[in-house]
Every structure is written in structure tokens, then in C-alpha cells.
Amino acid sequence: MINKKLKPTSAGLRHQIVMVKNTLCKNTSFLKKNTFCLKKTGGRSKQDGHITSWHRGGKTKKKTLITKKIEPSTFCICIAIIYSPVKNSFISINFNVINLKFNFGIHTDKQCIGGLIDSGLNNKFIGQKLGSILQMNSLYPGSIISAVSKNNKTYTYAKAAGTYCQIVQKYKNFVKLKLPSGRIIEITSKYWATLGSISNKNYNTCILGKAGKKSYKNKRSIVRGVAMNPVDHPHGGRTNGGRPSVSPWGKITKGVPTRKYK
């Protein structure tokens, strides 16, 4: 997907970089029937109204689709690609030829409309193509995969926009997998994965342009601890150094180190 920079007609648009959605499918009556609206979350308790989680509020209601994995041993066709206001990746509408039903899933990169999607144990329909959901047994070492899941229902690894994993080694009933962070883990070969990387890889290049757009996404502004008084925060006061960054209650912000490297 291509991003473009807007003309600086105002202060909020001067540095803004947005996503061009010309190639995506527009909202139709079919999508309106299969969407549900999310409730606003203000970060307050329902009983007394006190703030339970900080820096939340001001969110707009968003309509989203339920994304589910394609059932095993089925054959689907990609019909449309749509935008999701909740996820940072796109959603593809797939038609199941065997069950004659529609389902919504995370769209893989470089997968066109009309593409064939195979979901099976031994890729018996069309083989290994982009978007095919297969088990680790039928994938080759070095292949790029995404949306890795254990039970073919909930995603575990590489589910954000532009992320992917890579199969490093296969032996017996285990597979060595390289995560997007660079860490190498060992999982069983019964895990499910989608062939290809997640779509919308230019998501991190988008710039909101102003703080008001951040508040629409349920994130309020944060006051620095250095700007407070010593009564309100341990970082407060005129002195700016001398101690590591801590929370308002004096605990280390990055967490107490628990890992033993020796």
C-alpha cells in the first residue's frame, strides 16, 4: 500500500502522512450486516467512576469484523480486501467453495483479489501459494510465514502489519522458528501458519500529524514526571538526574530484572 504526504494547508496537516486506500473495497450492504460496533472505553470503573487505567479516554466508536481462521481441508477464493479501523493490517473476504460460506481473515502481502487459498494438512488442492494456511509439516525450511497459531483459531506469533517469521530448521517433530524480534524458538510441527507476510507493511511510516488524532484512538496526553512537583512524582522538582526512571510509586519503570544470564 502506498502512503502520501498531504499539502500543508493547516498546522495539523503539515507533517501528516496518510494511507491511500484506492485499491481497497468500499463499504457495502454485505459488510454492514456482518459488522458490530465496539463500546467506548474510558479507563474508569463502572461502580465508582475512578480511574483504573491511566491515559485512556476520548475514543470514537468503531465498527469491526470478526476475523477467524479458515477451517482445515477447505478451499477458498479471495473476493475483496477491506480496511479495518481496529487492526493495523487489512482484512480479506474469502468465499469457501466447499461450505458455501463467507469468512474474514487477515490479508497477506501481495495477495490479489481472485487468488486461491488452500487450507489443508497436505496441501492437496493447489499447493503452496500466498495466503495458504498449512501445518508446519508441509512447509519447507527457509519459507516466510505469518499468523502462527497452535489450534488454528487464535494467532500467537507475527500477527501485526508487515511482520513475518521464518523457518530456520526442521527435525523430527519440532521446528526452529525465527520471530520478528530476531529471537529463535522451538515449537512443534503441528502448529498452523499462513504462507507469506502480513499486509500493510508501510504502516509504521504513517504520521498522525497532531495530538488530536491520538485522542481519537483512546490515548490521552501524558504529563512527564520531570514536569511535576516532588509531591506528585519521584522525578519531580528542579533536579533532573541521579536515579533511574521509576513509576509514581517508586518502582522501576522497565520492570525488575528477573532473567539470569549466567
Residue percentage of the chain with pLDDT more than 70: 92
Which CATH number is 43's domain given? 2.30.30.30
In this structure, the answer to whether residues 148 and 90 fall within a common structural domain is yes
Q: Specify the higher pLDDT residue, 165 or 258.
A: 165
Residue 218 lies in a domain: no
In this structure, the answer to whether residues 158 and 231 fall within a common structural domain is no
In this structure, the answer to whether residues 120 and 250 fall within a common structural domain is no
Q: Whats the size of the chain, residue-wise? A: 262
In this structure, the answer to whether residues 123 and 230 fall within a common structural domain is no
Amino acid 104: pLDDT? 83
Residue 83 lies in a domain: yes
Backbone angles phi, psi at 137, to 5 degrees: -65, -40
The x, y and z cell numbers of residue 240, run together, are 533532573
Exposed/middle/buried for residue 38 (C-beta within 10 Å: 0-12, 13-18, 19+): middle
Cβ distance 92 to 105 under 8 Å? Answer: yes
pLDDT in tens, 129-165: 788 888 888 888 888 999 898 876 678 889 899 999 9
For the chain, how many structural domains are there in total? 2
In this structure, the answer to whether residues 191 and 236 fall within a common structural domain is no
Amino acid 9: pLDDT? 93
Question: What is the domain range of residue 231?
Answer: 224-254
Residue 214 lies in a domain: no
pLDDT in tens, 173-203: 899 999 999 999 999 988 888 889 998 888 9
Residue 42 lies in a domain: yes
Residue 261 lies in a domain: no
Residue 212 lies in a domain: no
In this structure, the answer to whether residues 244 and 198 fall within a common structural domain is no
Angle at the Cα of 33 from the Cα atoms of 32 and 36, rounded to 5 degrees: 75
Cβ distance 188 to 175 under 8 Å? Answer: yes
In this structure, the answer to whether residues 137 and 243 fall within a common structural domain is no
Residue 215 lies in a domain: no
In this structure, the answer to whether residues 110 and 228 fall within a common structural domain is no
Residue among 223, 243, 242 nearest 232 (CA) = 223
Q: What is the largest CA-CA distance in the chain?
A: 69
User: Which amino acid is present at 81?
Assistant: I
126 pLDDT more than 60: no
In this structure, the answer to whether residues 199 and 228 fall within a common structural domain is no
SS3 labels along the chain: CCEEECCCCCCCCCCCEEECCCCCCCCCHHHHHCEEECCCCCCECCCCCCECCCCCCCCCCCEEECCCCCCCCEEEEEEEEECCCCCCCCEEEEEECCCCEEEEEECECCCCCCCEEEEECCCCCCCCCCCCEEEHHHCCCCCEEEEEECCCCCEEECCCCCCCEEEEEEECCEEEEECCCCCEEEEECCCEEEECCECCCCHHHCECCCHHHHHHCCCCCCCCCCCCCCCCCCCCCCCCCCCCCECCCCCECCCCCCCCCC
